[in-house]
Amino acid sequence: MSVNLSTPRNFSPGETKEEQIKVAKDGLDVIKDLPRYVKEGYQAIEADDFMRFKWYGVYQQKPKEDGYFMLRTRIPGGQLNPAQLREIASLTDQFAHGFGDVTTRQTIQLHWLRIEQFPEIFKRLESVGITSSGACGDIARNVVGCPVAGMDPDAILDATPELQAVDAHLTNNNEFSNLPRKYKISISGCRIMCTQPDINCVGVFGLERGKEKGYGIKVGGGLSSAPHLAQTLPVFLKPEDVLPIVHYTSVIYRDHGYRDKRARARLKFLVADWGADKFISEVERVAGRKFDRHSEFVFPEDPESDHVGVHAQIQKGFYWVGICLAGGRLTGAQMKIIADLSEKYGEKGKVGIRGTNKQNLIIVNVPEKNVESLKKDLVASGLVVEPSNFRKGCVSCTGIEFCNLAVGETKNRMIRLVGELEQVSAHYKDKVRIHFSGCPSSCGQHQLADIGFRGATRTVDGIKKECFDMFLGGKTGADARFNVLIQPKVPYEEVHLYIDKVLRAYEKKKSGAESLTRWLGRSTKDDLKTIFADANGASS
């Protein structure tokens, strides 16, 4: 897909510190300073360039004074080939202490990196077609998509061409390298909307109109401390309309997004003030064209999933095989095993690995005769292909281990939690989504979960201890809603016991085959609070 789109910048920068940093030097231009910093060392890095490094996915790791960095890659749609995953594995073992994390935007991030290592890291990533440009910063982030696009027999359509066109258009594009804040886009034709258009700045989703298949679009979603559900624009998009409407939506955000206050700079605040009708009118004004109007939208009842498990593809005789990672963490050795096994058992010339936004990996295009052997070898390598309901539904941010914002440990707590729940809550067999965020920034998307946790602290006998605020009842799709705070200050070591109280209350009070998600949704806040009415500790 090729569309000639060029829209010069037309905005007035704000006066915040961050806006002035971007005016002084474009974030994408910081790469030119890398050779000097490699030569002169960490102490020579100018303070403002730490912010600009984010444009290349580079964050200071906690504690900042130690001089280590995190690197987040950009992997459109989570689509990897074995050579790419193998190179990431090699970098992981050589530079990143042997482990990495799959993120909720379908990428892989590494830790423990030093400034002098980045030229080699970038060169080796580039050699296999991977960039980190735009992985973070006030710029269009990695464009996410359905991990089994083009293979899911239930999908409305395969959005891979549209996703790749949008990602290519926005990556390294100086027209959009100075946006008011981060800018997140999802594009998918998945029927269950696994890419969560409700919480993206721009969410393009599959849409049927009679026998015609195309797309709808939502704008203005986002989480953090002021979560907003995206609003649906009243249009029906043909595949060739996707790149233009995303381009001009990006222009509107760039030129009209709020820059005077950092806390209100996300697109969600502009959309909340304007509304869907004004927003599409402004998009059409700058585009100089109209988009086909549409008013009937049907959204999935069941909350999003990321297609883990073993499933038949639309291509007869082929399957995809999911690998479930607690909290997204895996070792460099495991990355290499997955790359090797995908080549050993996948269809020659069609081998692929897909990252999911639930922090898992999927091997695609596996001939039916190879499925059982692949599963056996994965399990023998310590990888999980038949996960428990608890492992399947868990998501975790980076947490206090590496993040400078977090106040709670999340990644290792989530890994431990899965084992605890598999024991204490073995009675519960149904679907449950449990998310952890280490702070209000919501990188673990805790507001969407059936049971969400946000890092907090409490003081016991004069000693500050980690704990979690517990939220219940989140959901995307039809009747989308954020969960609500039900039980604050849950002791760190008792999280699994509080979860078990919720599951037992659900099993006692549900109506027939009613799901946990639906029961939580119809229960009032006061009803849910009674679950913990007797809980000075959760072990009672």
The yes-or-no answer to whether 160-287 and 310-384 have a common fold is no
Instruction: Look up residue 38 and give its two tokens.
Output: 């490699």
- Would you say domain 160-287 falls under CATH 3.30.413.10? yes
Identify the CATH homologous superfamily for domain 392-532.
Sulfite Reductase Hemoprotein, domain 1 (3.30.413.10)
Residue 4 has what pLDDT? 67
- What DSSP line would sit under 167-179, residue for residue? HHHHTT-GGGSS-
Q: What's the mean pLDDT in 322-348?
A: 96
Give pLDDT tens digits for 510-524: 999 999 999 999 999
Mean pLDDT of the 235-255 span: 98
67: Cβ–Cβ under 8 A, 6 or more apart, which residues?
42, 114, 115
Residue bearing the bigger pLDDT, 392 or 536: 392
The CATH number given to 17-127 is: 3.90.480.20
Angstrom distance (rounded) from CA 49 to CA 34: 10
Mean pLDDT value of segment 245-261: 97
Per 3-state DSSP, what percentage of the chain is helix, strand, and coil (rounded to 5)?
40, 20, 40
Class (C level, CATH) for 310-384: alpha beta
63 preceded by cis ω (within 30°)?
yes
Please say whether the beta carbons of 16 and 261 come within 8 A.
yes
- Position 258 pLDDT exceeds 50: yes
Nearest CA among 17, 9, 31 for reference residue 126: 31
Q: How confident is the model at residue 535 (pLDDT cuts 50, 70, 90)?
A: low
* DSSP sequence for 455-513: EEEEEETTEEEEEEEEEE--B-STT-B--EEEEEEEEGGGHHHHHHHHHHHHHHH--TT
Q: Write the pLDDT tens digit of every residue in 398-435.
A: 888 888 888 888 888 999 999 999 999 999 999 999 99
Predicted TM-score (pTM) of the model is 0.95
State the sign of the Cα–Cα–Cα–Cα dihedral 111, 113, 119, 124: negative
Residue 267 CB contacts under 8 Å (≥ 6 apart), including other chains: 180, 181, 183, 201, 202, 219, 220, 222, 253, 257
Which residues lie below 8 Å from residue 328, measured CB to CB, with a gap of 6+? 101, 102, 103, 104, 359, 360, 395, 396, 411
322, 102 Cβ separation under 8 angstroms: no
CB 113 within 8 A of CB 67: no
**pLDDT tens digits for 214-244?**
999 999 999 988 999 999 999 999 999 999 9
Owner of token pair 């280590």? 68
Using CB atoms within 10 Å of the CB of residue 219, give its burial: 0 to 12 exposed, 13 to 18 middle, 19+ buried: buried
The answer to whether the beta carbons of residues 48 and 24 sit under 8 Å apart is yes
Q: Over 90: is that where the pLDDT of 95 sits?
A: yes
End-to-end CA separation in angstroms for the chain: 61
- Determine phi and psi for 14, rounding to 5 degrees: -80, -175
**Which tokens in the block code for residue 10?**
């037309």
Given a cut of 90, whether residue 74 has pLDDT beyond it is yes
Domain positions in the chain are 17-127, 160-287, 310-384, 392-532
Structure tokens at 358: 């639930």
Say whether pLDDT at 3 is over 60.
no
